[in-house]
Structure 1
Amino acid sequence: MTLFISLLRGINVGGRNKLPMASLRDLLSGMGYADVQTYIQSGNCLFRSAEDDPDVISQNIARAIEESFGFRPHILTLTQARLDAVIAANPYGEAAEADPKTVHVYFMSAAPTAPDITALDTIKTSKERFELNGTAFYLYAPDGIGRSKLAARAEAKLGVPATARNYRTVLMLRDLSQQSSQSPT
């Protein structure tokens, strides 16, 4: 069985799309996934699956959530290798090491075909930096993500659905996946 990381978008935000992590773990276990773990309330899951297609896994989980909880979140499922590659390609490693909450990764299911880089450049502040690398968009926002116009508009300007995680969460998912890979199944 292969280890996967699923990132659920838009759950437990502002009182909408409530999905307790214990319920999510039960749902995933009931679907036949093994060694299910969650990390924080924003929908980060790790599990093992006999299914080897991340897109099929995402669709199956989204459908099960819709049937059980009445809403269908966007889900992106990654392999451990893809997560490791995203971390290795981080152009803001020093900033992330110094203050992980200043760096965010937008994970996308497909590389943007026509991203509006000019618009992204126009709306960023003088301190913000970004880089698009395949299916990952890296944002360095030293003044915080909450007030960043670039953070708020990045997905629309990229032109593909994305789900963002701060770098502290990205590193924790890596650590959890490494621990899970080392433990016997």
Structure 2
Amino acid sequence: MAVYIALLRGINVSGQKLIKMDRLQRLFEALSFQRVRTYIQSGNVVFEAEGQSTESLSAKLQQQIGQEFGFDVPVIVRTADELEAVLERNPFEEEVKKGEGKLYVTLLADLPQAEAVAALESLQTEVDSFRVIGREVYILCRESYGKSQFSNNFLEKKLKLAATTRNWATMNKLVQMGRG
């Protein structure tokens, strides 16, 4: 059995697309996934399944969530090892240690096109820094994520990919949960 983490985009925000975590957990269990655990209300699910591609799991989960809850929810799936590698590749480790900002990670549904990344990189600011590494965008917010130009919606539009964003503490907790 492989360990996966499903990250739902845009649920339980401002009273929209409400999904109770216990119902979400039951849905995953009904799909024959094992050791299903949720973390906070933003739609993070750690589970075990027979080796499947993250793409096929994402498509299956999006379809099942749509049927169960009546609305579309993009679902980004990573293996536990992939999520651990995201932590290891942190390009802003020194800045975070020095207290120079808070770190967020936007997980992309696929690899972004090089042209889209180049266009995005031309928009760097002094307030917020970001790096695109593989299927992730690391964002160092020196003020607050709520004031950042590099919101999830902005990155989705610029990179033309579905995405979901988590803070660094959540990413660390999900990796910890994936380990055991």
TM-score, normalising length: structure 2: 0.91
The 1-side partners of 2:129 and 2:57 are apart by: 33
> How big is the shift at 1:155?
2.3
Number of residue pairs matched? 178
Moved more, 33-42 or 124-133: 124-133
Residues 23-47 of structure 1 deviation map (CA, whole Å, 9 limit, x = unaligned)? 0001101110010000000000000
**Runs (5+) with no aligned partner, structure 2:** none
Q: CA deviation at 1:120?
A: 4.7
**Contact preservation (8 Å) 2:96, 2:103:** yes
Written as runs of structure 1 = structure 2, the 5 A alignment for 1:146-161 is 146-151=146-151, 153-161=154-162
Counterpart of 2:103 in structure 1 is 103
Aligned partner of 1:183 in structure 2 is none
Q: Could you tell which deviates more after superposition, 73-82 or 54-63?
A: 54-63
Equivalence for 1:130? 130
- Please tell me the root mean square deviation across aligned C-alpha atoms, in Å: 1.9
Q: Quick one: structure 1 residues 22 and 139, their matched pair in 2 at CA, closer, same or farther if it must change by over 3 Å?
A: same
Query: How many Å apart are 1:161 and its aligned residue?
Result: 1.5
Report the identity percentage: 29
CA distance in 2: counterparts of 1:139 and 1:89, whole angstroms: 13
Equivalent residue runs for 1:1-185 within 5 Å:
1-97=1-97, 102-113=102-113, 114-122=115-123, 124-151=124-151, 153-178=154-179, 180=180
Shift of 1:94: 2.8
More deviation, 58-67/99-108? 99-108
Q: C-alpha separation between the residues in 1 aligned to 2:66 and 2:149?
A: 31
Deviation at 1:56, TM superposition (A): 1.2
Distance in 2 (CA, whole Å) between partners of 1:97 and 1:176 is 23
Task: List 4+ stretches of structure 1 deviating above 4 A.
Answer: 97-101
Q: 2:100, 2:126 → 1: CA distance?
A: 19
Structure 2 CA distance for aligned equivalents of residues 12 and 130 of structure 1: 26
| Alpha-carbon distance change, 101 to 43 in structure 1, aligned in 2, over 3 angstroms | farther
Instruction: Measure, in 2, the Cα distance between the counterparts of 1:4 and 1:57.
Output: 9
Structure 1 runs not aligned, ≥5 long: 181-185
